[in-house]
Amino acid sequence: MTKRQEKIAEKWWKNAVIYQIYPKSFNDTNGDGIGDIAGIIEKIPYLKTLGVDGLWISPLYLSPQVDNGYDITDYRVIDPMFGTNEDMYDLIKLAHAAGIKIIMDFVANHTSDQAFWFQESRKSKNNFFSDFYIWQDAKPDGSEPNNWGSNFGGSAWTFDEMRQQYYLHYYAAEQPDLNWENEIVREYIYDMMRFWKSKGVDGWRMDVITSISKDLSFPDNVKNLTTSNQQNGPRMHEFIHEMNRQVLAPCEMMSVGESPAAKASDAPSLVSPSRQELDMIFTFEHMHIDRKPGDVNGRWALQKRDLVSLKRILSDWQLALRDNGWNALYFENHDRARVISRWGNDTTYRYASATAFATILHGLQGTPYIYQGEEIGMVNADYELSEYDDIELHGNYEQYVVQQQTISHDAFMQAAYKVSRDHARTPMQWSDDKHAGFSDGHPWLKVNLRFPEINVAKDLASKQSIFAYYQKLIQLRKSSDLLLEGSYELLLPDDDNLFIYKRSWQGETWLIVANFSEEMHSFPLATACSEIILTNSDRQDLSGQLKPYEAFIAKL
């Protein structure tokens, strides 16, 4: 066995590229305007052609869809709008037959308020389910237990008339937080995970897993009302470790946890193999390079993206997890805008900037995640406020624009055009047919108006196919020990146009290069390079300047 084969046998996900599907917006086969499981099955050949090894599928479980499925009523039941449990089992089998693993989305911090557990819990303080959620008495003056805020705007506490107490919800009032202190809750969750293992599921993406433990003294939060109190609670590591011992390790399930507050220095405590917690985490750190730090308007206070910070953050993560964990690499997901609209150029340099971001991400050590549509360079959709669907956007608008008046309507909308979560959630653009070939019915969310120009069919037929570039990148990763194992070194850390780093392995060094500006730039290492391995331009050799958003991988 070569080292590569050993590595792959040990942990398949280290050599994998994972594709995220947002099922509601992927492919609708029954004309109800909502994507479905049959639609995913239909596209397995497409995914196979792209070359991905695993699918992370956002929640498909029974849900009232207040937060598009991140509010679950029953973890073991597929929502009829997506199909049946049998359909899901078929998808798992067919994906496996195509050599593709299935990673389900696991929302462990909260359920829907419609869940049986919550409906029982609210009935009284002394029934079996009473302690399944986090209940607190009102203060003597009737006010909320503390000043914690919800991520979707307003308070994190809602008073329940039936139980005569407040319950905690870090997200919508319809998403009550589970009480992980309760052993039975944990046991039920582990059991649910075993259930999906028995159906063939290969791993879990864990929604805000770092929020599951709460500070039970419920102190007032003096700074940012939302996030600072919500992460890395006192028993977080203990709970995740227990879940690892109970389920992840014995069931051999891969895990990638969402960890909004993690810095590179925190990462090993969650993903170092010796910790027996998670395989990978999704950091948010690099996603904040265009956010004004400490601004009262949170994610809606934007500034120009700072390439020097992006390089520093990605480099910190590369170094922190070198031989001590593994990186989850991403620029897009269902909560993020389209990277080329946000940080690149989605008009003149759409092909070049999409492939430049891809080159930089896929050249790093770790497991790259591609979000549906990223592989054809899908772009943001600038809609009217009322055309956006997202609960976060509307909740935050109410809080910051209407109630607190800390940001004007126009400024909020300018920020929304950059970072709204709905940019990623518009229907997948398959063709220039009606509704972009996504559905024969009326899509649940308006299709991006640029679909006649940007769609799968057109991209595949184009000489400048972003999909084809991704195929090459994916194949390169699969055949290269250097990309799997190589060390990492950032060059020119202070240059705010060029992102250049080295990967080295067993005497060989590759240079990964991208120009993230719209100007030409000279390439300081041209003479040192011997061979171009992959390029997004027509470059034949290394002479001359780097064109706008030009990227390549070259041997040194």
Q: Give the 3-state secondary structure of residue 74.
A: strand
Neighbour count for residue 77 (Cβ, 10 Å) = 15
Report the run of H or E that residue 39 belongs to, with start and end.
helix 37-42
Q: What does the per-residue mask of binding to ligand NOJ show for 255-284, with x meaning CB under 6 A? A: ---x--------------------------
Choose which of 28, 53, 67, 266 interacts with ligand NOJ (CB under 6 A): 67
CB of 339 to ligand NOJ, least distance (A): 17
Please give the residue whose beta carbon sits closest to ligand NOJ in the complex.
70
Backbone angles phi, psi at 502, to 5 degrees: -110, 145
Among 173, 189, 208, 551, which residue interacts with ligand NOJ (rule: CB under 6 A)? 208
Q: Which is nearer to ligand NOJ, 79 or 207 (CB)?
A: 207
Q: Hey, which residues between 91 and 110 contact ligand NOJ (CB under 6 A)?
A: 107
Question: Considering only CA atoms, which of 419, 422, 416 is closest in space to residue 446?
Answer: 422
Least Cβ distance, residue 70 to ligand NOJ (angstroms): 3
Instruction: Considering the complex, state which of residue 288 and residue 478 has its C-beta at the smaller distance from ligand NOJ.
Output: 288
For residue 402, the Cα-to-chain-centroid distance in whole angstroms is 29
- Given the complex with ligand NOJ, which of 334 and 423 has the nearer CB atom? 334
Supply the minimum distance, in Å, between the C-beta of residue 110 and ligand NOJ: 7
**274: number of Cβ within 10 Å:** 8
CB of 71 to ligand NOJ, least distance (A): 7
> What residues from 423 to 452 belong to the interface with ligand NOJ (CB under 6 A)?
none
Q: Count CB atoms within 10 A of the CB of residue 378.
A: 31
Residue type present at position 142: G
CB of 6 to ligand NOJ, least distance (A): 34
Position 171 contacts ligand NOJ (CB under 6 A)? yes
Residue 90, token pair as written in the block: 């078929």
Tokens of 76: 């073991």
| Spatial strand order in the sheet of 101-107 | 280-283, 254-259, 203-207, 101-107, 54-57, 18-21, 367-371, 328-329
Active-site residue flag, 207: yes
State in angstroms the smallest separation of the CB of 510 from ligand NOJ. Answer: 33
| CB-count burial class (<10 Å; 0-12, 13-18, 19+) for 105 | buried
Q: Which amino acid is at 188?
A: Y
Q: What is the full DSSP assignment across 42-56? A: HTHHHHHHHT-SEEE
CA 196 to each of CA 76, 178, 391, 420, 424: distance values in angstroms, whole numbers, following the listed order: 8, 20, 29, 32, 27
Complex with ligand NOJ: residue 171 or 357, whichever CB lies closer: 171
Question: What's the min distance (Å) between Cβ of 205 and ligand NOJ?
Answer: 9
Instruction: List binders of ligand NOJ among 352-411 (CB under 6 A).
Output: none
Between 420 and 465, whose beta carbon lies closer to ligand NOJ?
Answer: 420
Q: How many residues bind ligand NOJ (CB under 6 A)?
A: 9
209 vs 376, beta carbon nearer ligand NOJ: 209
Q: Which two tokens stand for residue 100?
A: 């593709």
> Of the two residues 107 and 554, which places its CB atom closer to ligand NOJ in the complex?
107
In angstroms, rounded to a whole number, what is the distance separating the alpha carbons of residues 552 and 428? Answer: 28
425/418 Cα distance (integer angstroms): 14
CA distance linking residue 278 with residue 249, whole number of Å? 10
Which of 71, 105, 113, 258 does the annotation list as catalytic?
Answer: 258
The CA distance from 49 to 59, in Å, is: 24
- Compare residues 209 and 551 and give the one whose CB is closer to ligand NOJ: 209
Mark whether 6 is an active-site residue. Answer: no
- What is the residue type of 341? S
For ligand NOJ, which is the closer residue by CB, 314 or 391? 391
The residue from 26, 70, 82, 388 that contacts ligand NOJ (CB under 6 A) is 70
Residue with smaller CB distance to ligand NOJ, 67 or 459:
67
DSSP per-residue letters across 173-239: TTSPBB-TTSHHHHHHHHHHHHHHHHTT--EEEEETGGGSS--TT-PPP-S-SSSTTTSS-TTHHHH
**36, 53, 316, 335: which one contacts ligand NOJ (CB under 6 A)?**
335
Q: Shortest Cβ distance from residue 521 to ligand NOJ (Å)?
A: 36
Site for ligand NOJ in 456-495 (CB under 6 A): none
Distance of closest approach, residue 194 Cβ to ligand NOJ, in angstroms: 22
> What is the biggest distance separating any 2 CA atoms in the chain, rounded to whole angstroms?
76
Q: CB-hemisphere CA count at 13 Å for 157?
A: 21
Q: How far is the CB of 67 from ligand NOJ (least distance, A)?
A: 5
Q: Bin 71: left if φ > 0, else alpha if -120 < ψ < 50, else beta.
A: beta
Q: Which residue has the tokens 């559905």?
A: 439
Which residue among the candidates 28, 113, 202, 207 is catalytic per the annotation? 207
Q: Which residues bind ligand NOJ (CB under 6 A)?
A: 67, 70, 107, 171, 207-208, 258, 334-335
Q: Which active-site residues does the annotation give?
A: 207, 258
